[in-house]
Amino acid sequence: MTRAVRLNGLRYAMAVVATGAVLLGAGCSGDKSPSWEGGGAKPGTAQGQNGGGDTPPSPAPLPSIVNVSSPESGATGVKALEAVKFTSEDMANTKVSVKDADGKDVDGKTDTDKGTWTPARGLTWGSKYTVTVSAPEQQGKTTTTESTFTVMKKPSKLVRISSFLGDKSQVGVGMPLIMRFGRSVPQKYRAEVERRMPVTTSPEQEGTWHWVSATEVHYRTKEFWKPGTKVSYKANLQGVPMGEGWFGRSNLSVNLKIGRAFVMTVDDKSKQMQVRENGKLVKTIPVSLGKKSTPSSSGTMIVMEKKRHTVFDTMDELPEGQGYRTEIDYAQRLTWGGEFIHAAPWSEGVQGHVNVSHGCVNVSMKMGEWLFSRTRMGDPITVKGTSRKIKQGNGWTDWSMSWSDYKKGSAL
């Protein structure tokens, strides 16, 4: 038993010594470190360099879920209205901001379906901008990226843009909005021009732009403006391309108000003018229209200009012996061709019975003064039943077209 015990004790002691040798070897390994300390790695590997105290290499860049594809970062000569294009793995929740050189936010519209941000108006010529695109956090991925670009220098070929109506005007229910350009706008560029001319109304009403020529575009509603409507329209056209290296010169905005509904209707058969204010008949006026050789135009026209006193002079326009020079009171222009509503004391005896004018709507002095004191630019007059139809473009003839035809004049 004793021997057996000693043998067991000897075995036990030997086992302890063996274990101690293992521990001693691990603790005194010299230059060779265990693998859990980086030891055993081949020279030149990351583990070997780290274990040897060398500077660790730069980590590989994290994958990004957002990217600005255009303009390229650092780009110069960028057009003032060029859209920023971006991509994202989470388009629906991606946000885009653009700041100017002073760090101020730039107004624009983000379209996540198309992956674009478009400035609301032309950016400042020659200025630098910073784009920031960000998406919700995702583990292990970069969710924000920045890019910069510089807008082209101010070009020498700039198109002047003007509004016929001034800010804070008050006009009649038939008044079209009128924008004019200092140079013809080619057909292919008109759609973008229209997109940059938003019109807002209160109350809301359906309307559209209509190009009456290459240098002029009008806007009207489907029906006459509602009385009291507040209208605001903008021309954010600075930097908009207009062909052959030409760009829009500036931006402008106009706020105006539509007045009461003052609507005149003339029937050649009865030779009477009915005047309605806000739908209520307020006056019936005898008239004399154009005689057979110089008929008045049928259609809806607009009061374009008012002159308390003027002179009609056709001496250079008509054949010799047919021209005339006559002083006129209370003249209200309806066409560029020379049709007016005006007082005609010489025809008062036949007004309501016979047509004797050269195409104008003749009324008495008393009624001429009454009308003149109440009408404003944009008030409509519709003439019915004459032998001649109003020629499109001979005045503001926007209302002598059907709504379906008028919409065809839009480039959109």
389 vs 391: CA distance, rounded Å: 6
Q: Are strands 66-70 and 95-99 parallel, antiparallel or unpaired?
A: unpaired
Q: Work out the burial of residue 324: count CB atoms within 10 Å of its CB; fewer than 13 is exposed, 13-18 middle, 19 or more buried.
A: exposed
* pLDDT tens track for 256-301: 999 999 999 999 999 999 999 999 999 999 999 999 999 999 999 9
Q: Is 252 helix (H, G, I), strand (E, B) or coil?
A: strand
Q: Is residue 229 part of a domain?
A: yes
Residue 44 has pLDDT above 90, yes or no: no
386 vs 270: CA distance, rounded Å: 12
Q: Is residue 14 part of a domain?
A: no
Are residues 354 and 311 part of one domain?
yes
In angstroms, the Cα distances linking 142 to 98, 138, 145, 203, 389 are 19, 8, 8, 46, 68
HEC assignment per residue over 109-168: EEECCCCEEEECCCCCCCCEEEEEEECCCCCCCECEEEEEEEECCCCCCEECEEECCCCC
226 vs 201: CA distance, rounded Å: 10
Are residues 393 and 280 part of one domain?
yes
Residues 85, 70: contact at Cβ < 8 Å?
Answer: yes
Q: What angle do CA 233, 235, 236 make, to 5 degrees?
A: 125
169 vs 332: CA distance, rounded Å: 18
- Mean pLDDT (whole number) for 311-337: 84
Q: Which of 151, 182, 204 is the last residue of a domain?
A: 151
Q: Which pLDDT band holds residue 313 (cuts at 50, 70, 90)?
A: confident
DSSP state of 357: B
Total domain count for the chain? 3
- Mean pLDDT (whole number) for 390-404: 97
pTM above 0.85, yes or no: no
Token pair 């990004």: residue: 64
272 vs 293: CA distance, rounded Å: 20
pLDDT of residue 74: 96
Are residues 139 and 72 part of one domain?
yes
Residues 332, 340: contact at Cβ < 8 Å?
Answer: yes
Q: Are strands 388-389 and 297-302 parallel, antiparallel or unpaired?
A: parallel
* pLDDT tens track for 258-268: 999 999 999 99
Q: What is the CATH number of the domain that holds 176?
A: 2.60.40.3710
78 vs 247: CA distance, rounded Å: 13
Residue range of the domain that includes 180: 158-259
Residue 143 has pLDDT above 80, yes or no: yes
Q: What is the CATH number of the domain that holds 343?
A: 2.40.440.10
Q: Which of 103, 134, 151 is the last residue of a domain?
A: 151
pLDDT of residue 57: 65
Q: What is the CATH number of the domain that holds 84?
A: 2.60.40.1220
Are residues 112 and 133 part of one domain?
yes
251 vs 359: CA distance, rounded Å: 41
Are residues 132 and 100 part of one domain?
yes
Percent of the chain exceeding pLDDT 90 equals 77
Residue 368 has pLDDT above 80, yes or no: yes
* pLDDT tens track for 5-27: 443 443 433 333 333 333 333 33
- Mean pLDDT (whole number) for 144-167: 96
Q: Which of 151, 173, 189 is the last residue of a domain?
A: 151
pLDDT of residue 11: 42
Are residues 249 and 186 part of one domain?
yes
pLDDT of residue 128: 97
Are residues 172 and 146 part of one domain?
no
Q: Is residue 44 part of a domain?
A: no
Token pair 């009128």: residue: 178
Q: Which pLDDT band holds residue 312 (cuts at 50, 70, 90)?
A: confident
Closest CA to 382 of 370, 398, 367: 398
Closest CA to 304 of 328, 339, 285, 332: 332
The two structure tokens encoding residue 313: 């002079």
Residue 41 has pLDDT above 80, yes or no: no
- Mean pLDDT (whole number) for 216-238: 97
Helix or strand (DSSP H, E) at 8: helix 2-27
Q: Is 37 helix (H, G, I), strand (E, B) or coil?
A: helix
Q: Is residue 115 part of a domain?
A: yes
Are residues 230 and 138 part of one domain?
no
Are residues 307 and 385 part of one domain?
yes
Are residues 307 and 234 part of one domain?
no
Are residues 167 and 132 part of one domain?
no
Q: Work out the burial of residue 352: count CB atoms within 10 Å of its CB; fewer than 13 is exposed, 13-18 middle, 19 or more buried.
A: middle
Least confident of 28-32, 164-168, 181-185, 225-229: 28-32
Are residues 386 and 284 part of one domain?
yes
| Cα 292 off chain centre by | 48
104 vs 124: CA distance, rounded Å: 13
